[in-house]
């Protein structure tokens, strides 16, 4: 497998030897750290986007939720340092319980399903990570009863998962795979602007929902960006 060309040294990640081109339990913690800070930085933006389509609290909900999840996954890592799946499930359950609105159960389900797919593994390579994210995508679509083009989280998550799968199949290193996923999410997020919402509170708006980025798609992009930085080992900003 490929070595990550990281800008700085990865922080020590527990007792188990971790292959550097794989997504391990410690990477989950690094991901949540970066996600929490990125969401906090974009809290106002997400709230503003959500105010146009929903009830205006998506940024606050996500910031609070990841803030609660961070100590939970840190504690989880200390207990089960060799099970990335278990840690992702723990993250999912924490999000279901602590993120307000519909996004808690939706993101929570995605992480729970992804974690179930990786259960028992100390780390995931690119293909396993693609499997896990596909399981997460299926869970989110099932729980939200949403399809591509409904102007939801799924519209950013789906292109991200497909880009990750394509890079994994091509044998690209993990950091390139996750970077491609983040780029795919960015494209999907922008593509939600002209869509008419068919799920969630924005359903009430009908045609009036056109012309706005979906806040869920934006937060999904932020999460994948955080995952890309976590894999590259960039410091938390």
Residues lying near other proteins in the complex (CB under 8 A): 55, 101-102, 105, 109, 112-113, 116-117, 119-121, 128, 131, 134-135, 139, 142-145, 198-201, 203-204, 206
Please report how close the Cβ of residue 143 comes to other proteins at its closest, in angstroms. Answer: 5
Closer to other proteins by CB, 57 or 175: give it.
57
**What are the counts of helices (DSSP H) followed by strands (DSSP E) for the chain?**
9, 2
Please report how close the Cβ of residue 99 comes to other proteins at its closest, in angstroms. Answer: 13
Closer to other proteins by CB, 131 or 234: give it.
131
Please report how close the Cβ of residue 19 comes to other proteins at its closest, in angstroms. Answer: 15
Closer to other proteins by CB, 105 or 215: give it.
105
Please report how close the Cβ of residue 142 comes to other proteins at its closest, in angstroms. Answer: 6
Tokens 């499930």 identify what position? Answer: 89
3-state secondary structure of 124: strand
Closer to other proteins by CB, 97 or 183: give it.
97
Q: How far apart are CA 128 and CA 147, in angstroms?
A: 24
Q: Computed from CA positions of residues 90, 234, 137, 97, in that sequence, does the dihedral angle turn out positive or negative?
A: positive
Q: Residue 68 is encoded by which pair of tokens? A: 């609660």
In sequence order, what E strands does the chain have?
23-24, 123-124
Q: For the chain, how are helix, strand and coil distributed in percent, rounded to 5?
A: 70, 0, 30
């Amino acid at each position: 497998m490929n070595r990550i060309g990281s800008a700085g040294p990865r922080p020590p990640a527990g007792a188990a030897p971790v292959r550097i081109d794989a997504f391990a339990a410690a990477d989950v913690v690094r991901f949540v750290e970066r996600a929490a800070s990125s969401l906090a930085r974009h809290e106002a933006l997400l709230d503003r986007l959500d105010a146009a389509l929903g009830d205006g609290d998506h940024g606050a909900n996500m910031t609070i939720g990841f803030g609660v999840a961070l100590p939970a996954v840190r504690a989880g890592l200390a207990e089960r340092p060799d099970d990335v799946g278990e840690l992702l499930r723990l993250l999912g359950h924490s999000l279901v319980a602590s993120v307000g609105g519909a996004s808690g159960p939706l993101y929570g389900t995605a992480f729970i399903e992804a974690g179930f797919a990786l259960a028992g593994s100390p780390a995931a390579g690119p293909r396993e990570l693609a499997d896990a994210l596909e399981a997460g995508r299926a869970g989110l679509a099932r729980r939200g009863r949403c399809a591509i083009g409904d102007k939801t989280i799924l519209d950013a998550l789906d292109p991200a998962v497909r880009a990750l799968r394509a890079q994994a199949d091509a044998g690209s290193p993990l950091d390139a795979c996750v970077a491609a996923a983040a780029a795919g999410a960015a494209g999907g997020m922008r593509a939600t602007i002209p869509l008419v919402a068919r799920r969630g509170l924005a359903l009430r708006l009908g045609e009036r929902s056109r012309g706005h980025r979906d806040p869920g798609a934006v937060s999904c992009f932020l999460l994948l960006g955080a995952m890309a930085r976590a894999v590259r080992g960039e410091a938390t900003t």
